[in-house]
Amino acid sequence: MQINAYWRQLGMQSSMLSKNKTVNSPLKLFNFYKDSSLGRMINFINEAVIVVNANGTIEMVNANASALIGQTREVLLSENLLSFFSDDTGKVQSHVIQCLDSSESETIESPPFEVVIKQQNKPYHNVSVEISISSLPEELSANNSLFICILRDLTLHKAEYATLKKKAETDFLTGLANRHKFSDYLTRQWILCNSNNLPISLILIDIDHFKLFNDEYGHIAGDRCLKRIGDLLDLSMPNRDTLAARYGGEEFAIVLPNCSAQTAQLLAIRIKRHLAQLSSRHFVFSSNSRLTVSMGVATNENHRYESKESLLNAADTLLYQAKAQGRDQICYL
């Protein structure tokens, strides 16, 4: 494909098209470069390496890069690097063009940036890649501005990051969100609900006399009890926006964005009923009484509270009111 026609097809600006840069046929250049020291060197680099000219046409490519894109070297050589990017916004294209559009005397070393590559051998399969672009010195370019692009597959890195992030946000014992995640989520949802004039509710749940349960059955049974309560809360969440978290030792919290006071109260009643059923079956003291919970429910409607901290304080006060009034009950305004 003619290079200028290619750029037009990509919708490039006419100023870019009119740049008077010397561009030889890629195949001709490939034959020229493949036996050069540069050509031999990139084959030994243990990274995916692509050399492009100022128009983005691929002039050299090593085996790692060819495997990453999922296309043979021969096919890649007649293509433009940008045609393999998945770039709906066009931001990556403009950035690459900016890097390649340097004057010939200028040395370019772009900080690495992320692009998504459409893998050619796996339809609809995209891979996130970090790319850095540097201009090659004149003696290696044979009078033709050349740029070396190093591509690093981010798939493994992203998977590891996701695993670590999940771990950092999860309570080890119950598998619910931990307090850190709860706090972040409440902050985000508080801002979102307030800016959209939507209510937001909070339920705090504290197990009654849990110390007695631990004293009677031991800490391992206590842990099992916390885990089962966590599972039940998780199963009771009405939608994906609702977040159940372990707030402290034997305390749980539920964030309910876009949820009215009435709906939050009904949910609290339902959860308490389910917990009572679970308790009657599994968590009964030798005195024959079962494990119970106390709950505080607060809702920010019509800007009742000035901050998320005030909402949290309100739910906490209501929870302690439930404790003070004899436990095993729900308090709300």
Ligand X SMILES: Nc1nc2c(ncn2[C@@H]2O[C@H](COP(=O)(O)OP(=O)(O)OP(=O)(O)O)[C@@H](O)[C@H]2O)c(=O)[nH]1
CB 79 within 8 A of CB 58: yes
Q: If binding is defined by CB under 6 A, does position 328 make contact with ligand X? A: no
Residue 8 or 219: which CB sits closer to ligand X? 219
Minimum distance from residue 208 beta carbon to ligand X (Å): 4
Listed residue (36, 40, 66, 49) closest to 144, CA to CA: 36
**Closest approach of ligand X to the CB of residue 166, in Å:** 20
Q: Is 12 in the site for ligand X (CB under 6 A)?
A: no
User: Which of these, 276, 274, 270, lies nearest to 291 by C-alpha position?
Assistant: 276
- Residues in contact with ligand X, total (CB under 6 A)? 16
DSSP 208: T
- Pick the piece of the chain touching ligand X (CB under 6 A) from 121-129, 180-188, 206-214, 267-275: 206-214
d(CA 254, CA 183): 11
From the list 19-27, 137-145, 214-222, 231-239, the region that binds ligand X by CB under 6 A is 214-222
Dist. CA 76–CA 274, nearest whole Å: 61
| Interface pick for ligand X out of 26, 222, 230, 296 (rule CB under 6 A) | 222
Which CB, 49 or 268, lies closer to ligand X?
268
The CB-of-217 to ligand X minimum distance in angstroms stands at 9
Residue 223 interacts with ligand X (CB under 6 A)?
A: yes
Q: Which of 90, 175, 238, 249 binds ligand X (CB under 6 A)?
A: 249
Question: What distance, in Å, lies between the first and last C-alpha atoms of the chain?
Answer: 71
DSSP 8-state secondary structure symbol assigned to residue 214: H
With CB under 6 A as the contact rule, the residue among 73, 95, 179, 209 that binds ligand X is: 209
Asked if 271 is part of the footprint of ligand X (rule: CB under 6 A), the reply reads: no
Catalytic residue among 47, 106, 130, 250: 250
Q: Which is nearer to ligand X, 69 or 203 (CB)?
A: 203
In the complex, minimum distance from the CB of residue 221 to ligand X, in angstroms, rounded to a whole number: 8
What minimum distance in Å lies between the beta carbon of 218 and ligand X? Answer: 8
Alpha helices in the chain (DSSP H): 3-9, 14-17, 26-34, 37-44, 63-69, 73-77, 91-100, 138-141, 155-169, 179-195, 210-217, 219-236, 261-282, 308-324
Closer to ligand X by Cβ: residue 42 or 176: 176
Give the three-state DSSP class for 201.
Answer: strand
Query: Going by DSSP bridges, is the β-strand pair 293-300/330-332 parallel, antiparallel, or unpaired?
Result: parallel
| Residue 250 bears catalytic tag | yes
CA–chain centroid gap for 106, Å, is: 37
Q: How many CB atoms lie within 10 A of CB 95?
A: 16
Closest to 52 measured CA to CA, from 87, 76, 75: 76
Smallest gap from Cβ 296 to ligand X, in A, equals 12
Active-site amino acid positions: 250
Binding site for ligand X (CB under 6 A): 173, 206-211, 214, 219, 222-223, 226, 249-250, 323, 327
